[in-house]
Structure 1
Amino acid sequence: MLVIQYALVILAGYLLGSIPFGYIVGRMKGVDVREYGSGRTGGTNVLRSAGKLPAAVTICGDLAKGVVAVLLGRTLLGTELAAALAGVGAVVGHNWPVFVGFRGGAGTATSMGGYFVLAPIPTVIVGVFSAIVGFGVLRYASVTSILICLLMTPALLIGALFFDQPLEYLAYSLTVGTIVLLSHRPNIRRLLKGTERRIGEPAKKIVEEEA
């Protein structure tokens, strides 16, 4: 019975994560963001294809999916394992949403929403540092996402070893970090080639993948 309950929590997180905010706000602007740039529904591609306000709405919505999923899992079953599993489900749903043909985003904002509920202090520290380097200095959205993936797991490992944070948080980070990092493989290749688009460059009609 408990296994079924946890499975339902994951499913609930997945369905919540599948809400395609980027696609919805793009459509409200008369744009199908899946036809531009990376074809993804995340904030970066919405920024390039639909503008700043739709991108801001998308990012807030995607963050909220992670927040609500983790809180929902914790509330329904009362365990940190349920919270972490619901958060993982939300990231999977965001990346492969059932409502729009399994074509979603890369999962950064949704994973950060989950991180914030589980471990707010390291999330804020890592998030601010990554944003300063990625957005502020290098002007690559993908660098911000990659840094978050690379830094959150060590941060939560420290929390588990020295501050009695639940191991479920570390497991969440290892899982969603891997998902998000793998989703950024095209970006990593372009960064190595020096062809990655910087923040502010407009999206062209769909030709390539990017964050």
Structure 2
Amino acid sequence: MIAKKINFNIYMYLLLPGLILSVFAVPMFLYSVEHIYLYILVAVQSYLIGCTPFGYLIHRIRTGEDIRNYGSGKIGTSNVFRTSGGVIGLLVLCLDASKGIAVIYICRQLFIDESMLVISTLLALVGHNWPVILSFKGGRGIAIAAGTLLVLTTIPALIGLAIFLPVTLISKYLSLGSILGVIGAVISIVIMTFFGIYPIQYSVYGIIAGVVIIFQHRDNIKRIMSRTERKIGQPAVKIK
């Protein structure tokens, strides 16, 4: 019998949005049937907001080239930082973070409940990482998650930043700082939820977003362990 090779990424693209939607499916439907159409509209809109590829667009406008052909092949802040410099990288960081903030703003204006708000922000994260308009080749989710956490859970977001900065400066690995910062932020959210500071939905967001982000850094983790990860200051090279 010939073993069939399964492309795990394809399954992630197909199953992850459904998994996220199912987390709060029951309370969403119990809340009121009349809200279903609004929820569907907000969910789709959130994913599409996440799909906006600021890193890709800015690099394409500046150089005429596809940023996915350089460095890590991602369209997020760290790859833009390596290919276009710190100023452009900071611009993309702010724009990507604003996507999460925009989704929260829309949900608040529509008086969306916390469960659907979390689903919407997670779908925005999925859109950022796997944008349909770029054949599902996006970023890693750090910036958009940072923007989301900064609004929903400010203290854990700052704790994550407090971990990210020294780890990155000492190790010179952006990826290591990002991973440990995410872990620190998620643990902080869970602890503060336990003490009643945040609703359980925020912990669900933190855990799912954290898992997704670390999954997106799996190649970085391998390179860190083999000591081949690029350090700050090393430019992105063209992918052969």
- Shared fold by TM > 0.5? yes
Give the root-mean-square deviation of aligned CA atoms: 1.5
Q: Distance in 2 between matches of 1:149 and 1:6?
A: 28
The answer to whether the 8 Å contact 2:156/2:186 transfers is no
The equivalent position to 1:115 in structure 2, one of 145, 149, 155, is 149
The answer to whether the 8 Å contact 1:9/1:85 transfers is no
1:71 aligns with 2:105: yes
1:43 aligns with 2:77: yes
1:3 positional shift: 4.2
Q: Deviations over 1:21-49 (max 9, x none)?
A: 00111012113211101111001111111
Q: Deviations over 1:118-167 (max 9, x none)?
A: 11122112212222212x11111101221123122211111111133100
Equivalent position of 2:86 in the other structure: 52
Q: Distance in 1 between matches of 2:86 and 2:197?
A: 40
From the CA coordinates, give the structure whose radius of gyration is larger: 2
1:103 positional shift: 1.0
The answer to whether the 8 Å contact 2:159/2:184 transfers is no
Q: Which amino acid is the alignment partner of residue 178 of structure 1?
A: V
Q: Deviations over 1:170-206 (max 9, x none)?
A: 0001111111010000000111111100111111111
The equivalent position to 1:24 in structure 2, one of 41, 49, 57, is 57
Which fold has the larger relative contact order, with Cα–Cα distance below 8 Å and residues 6 or more apart in sequence? 1
1:55 positional shift: 1.1
The alignment partner of 2:110 has SS state of helix
The answer to whether the 8 Å contact 2:162/2:181 transfers is no
Equivalent position of 1:106 in the other structure: 140
The answer to whether the 8 Å contact 1:74/1:80 transfers is no
- Structure 1 residue runs of 4 or more that deviate by more than 4 Å after TM superposition: none
1:12 positional shift: 1.5
Unpaired segments ≥5 residues, structure 2: 1-32
How many residues in Structure 1 have an aligned counterpart in Structure 2? 206
Q: Which moved more, 1:1-10 or 1:46-55?
A: 1-10
